[in-house]
Chains A and B, each alone.
Chain A
């Protein structure tokens, strides 16, 4: 180790003599590149901020203009005087019926499909075909779902404009969302869990039912909440299948038509008797819908980030 000691002495010598002989290393020589880099990074950051700004502007605009309209009566009363006064209770109720109906239909089918794809199916052409089909379904425009619902559920199956027809239309639209959310949740279950269970003599179905599904459940739940919020906010698929302009009474069966919040906003904002006069109602309704949808999303996002931290 003598050499190392000598080395240290030499090092001290060099440290004393440490003048900036090689300019190359210093920042000045790369100034232009650095400036360009900083400029670009600033631009990227501004782009990201614009998204935040857009969200904040839209939400705060609706809050500022809408909060005065929201009262207890607004939430529990029916519209009055040709929808120029009163509340939006039937619309809230209708939206809940339609979106929950959609999930009741889509959830079991979606989960079962995801289980089949992720747990049972072997890689094959047919599987690729199924995936292609699900992806295509996910890309179908919402208005086309509306057309299909009208032609198939309302007319061919003779359901008419009703909760059931609207729910089914929204349901098939939610199907791909639930399938992909469930698939992701199933994929995140480690294979060792499955192997451990199978190794103990459990059958495949027992393994799925007792080990895989419980582990994936939180992920599936998050996906379901997101699908529910999306279904609640949709307008185009229900405008010919489930929602109507105005109803005298609350629905009593699934074959009744309903009012729905998004459609109500649309009608008030574009085709009401006095559009300017009902602005407060429009702001109030939009704010209520926004709170419902963003609230559900926020719950899902917070829940998910908690899960990830675990």
Chain B
């Protein structure tokens, strides 16, 4: 029972200065499921996502109340090391942001900063991660080339491989396909299907079809509040709240 949830957020409030961006959000995540966070822009879904790996710590003047518990440990506990937390909780960003280094070095980066020196181990992990991210076949002959020479879709998959190399348990994706063309988007979605076998995935998306296609559960955010969360099929076919229905039928947002 106690291991039922990988991650639980309870009564999370989030402030940018005086502005309350998240109001009393409670949400639970089951291991190896995909949860999609949807809602109109500014609804707090990305803010919530960035609370999970404490990326918001970087913005001065922000404050979090409530608790987020990962594997029975409150990640806002004073004794938590954010660096270790971020190893466990990987993140893929909205725009592909590869480092201006080679493809290989991009994936190896997380390993190196985490103290892995063994060259063979690194090479093995890089290959494994690239295969997992369905990129290996496209780049295996040019691992030493700059990552900036890849197409946008390839860059994004590289960023996913880079995140996977650190062997996280949870993968946060902040609108990972919003800057990509439809074909590249499709590849990313297929990849999410594959990855869900091994990872707990939380994906923010403004694209409802995408949420419907990739996720097991969907949570709808509006004005900083969690309005509704349910199995994806149920949420899109029989929403319980009127705001959810209005949003998914396209009446606002």
Q: Which residues of A contact B (CB under 8 A)?
A: 1, 3-4, 7-8, 10-11, 13-15, 17-22, 24-27, 29-30, 33-34
Cβ-defined contact, A18 with B69, below 8 A: yes
From B28, B74, B79, B230, contact of A10 by CB (8 A): B28
B71 & A27 in contact (Cβ 8 Å cutoff): no
Residue on A nearest B26 in the bound complex, by CB: A8
Q: Is the CB of B81 within 8 A of A11?
A: no
Contacts of A3 in B (CB 8 A): 229-230
Q: Are B2 and A11 in contact (CB under 8 A)?
A: no
**Smallest beta-carbon distance B2→chain A, Å:** 5
A18 to B8, CA, bound (A): 12
- The listed residue (A11, A22, A34) touching B5 by CB distance below 8 A is A11
In the assembled complex, the Cα of A17 lies from the Cα of B240 at a distance in Å of 33
Q: Which residues of B contact A18 (CB under 8 A)?
A: 69, 72-74
B84 and A21 within 8 A (CB): no
Chain B hits for A25, CB < 8 A: 70-71, 73, 75, 80-81, 84-85, 88
A-B residue pairs in contact (CB < 8 Å), sample of 17: A1-B230, A7-B5, A7-B26, A10-B28, A11-B8, A11-B26, A13-B2, A14-B72, A17-B72, A18-B74, A21-B72, A22-B71, A24-B87, A25-B70, A25-B88, A30-B81, A30-B83
- Cβ of A7 and Cβ of B71 under 8 Å apart? no
For B10, the chain A residues whose CB sits under 8 A away are 8, 11, 15
Chain B residue with minimal CB distance to A27?
B81
A10 to B28, CA, bound (A): 9
> In whole Å, how far is B203's beta carbon from the nearest beta carbon of chain A?
19
B84 x A19 contact (CB < 8 A): no
In the complex, the answer to whether B2 meets A17 with C-beta atoms within 8 Å is yes
Q: How far is the CB of B231 from chain A (nearest CB, A)?
A: 8
Known contacts A7-B28, A17-B2; is-contact A22 B8 (Cβ 8 Å): no
**In the complex, the 10 A-B pairs of residues with the closest C-beta atoms, listed nearest first:** A27-B81, A7-B28, A11-B8, A30-B81, A17-B2, A22-B71, A18-B72, A25-B84, A14-B2, A26-B79
Residues of B in contact, count (CB < 8 Å)? 28
B181-222 residues with Cβ-Cβ distance < 8 A to A are none
Closest to B74 in A: A18
Residues of B within 8 A of A13 (CB): 1-2
**Residues in B1-38 with C-beta less than 8 Å from chain A:** 1-2, 4-5, 8, 10, 26, 28
Asked if residues A1 and B228 are in contact (CB atoms below 8 Å), the reply is: yes
B79 shortest CB reach to chain A, Å: 5
Across-interface contacts of A7 in B (CB, < 8 A) = 5, 8, 26, 28
- Evaluate contact between A26 and B81: CB separation under 8 angstroms: yes
Q: What is the distance, in angstroms, from B115's C-beta to the closest C-beta of chain A? A: 8
Rounded to whole angstroms, the CA-CA distance of A1 and B240 in the bound complex is 8
- Distance in angstroms from B105 CB to nearest chain A CB is 20
Contacts of A8 in B (CB 8 A): 10, 26
Given A3-B230, A29-B81, CB of A10 within 8 Å of CB of B5: yes
Nearest residue (CB) in A for B80 is A25
The answer for the CA separation of A88 and B219 in the assembled complex, in Å, is: 78
* Pairwise interchain contact B72-A10, C-beta atoms closer than 8 A: no
A29 contact set on B, CB distance < 8 A: 81, 84
Given contacts A4-B229, A14-B4, A25-B85, 14 further A-B contacts (CB under 8 A): A1-B230, A1-B240, A10-B4, A11-B10, A15-B69, A18-B69, A18-B74, A22-B72, A25-B70, A25-B80, A27-B84, A29-B84, A30-B81, A34-B81
Task: Report the bound CA distance from A10 to B71 in whole Å.
Answer: 13
Are A22 and B73 in contact, with the CB atoms below 8 A?
yes
Complex Cα distance, B12 from A11, in Å, reads 14
**In the complex, are the beta carbons of B73 and A33 less than 8 A apart?**
no
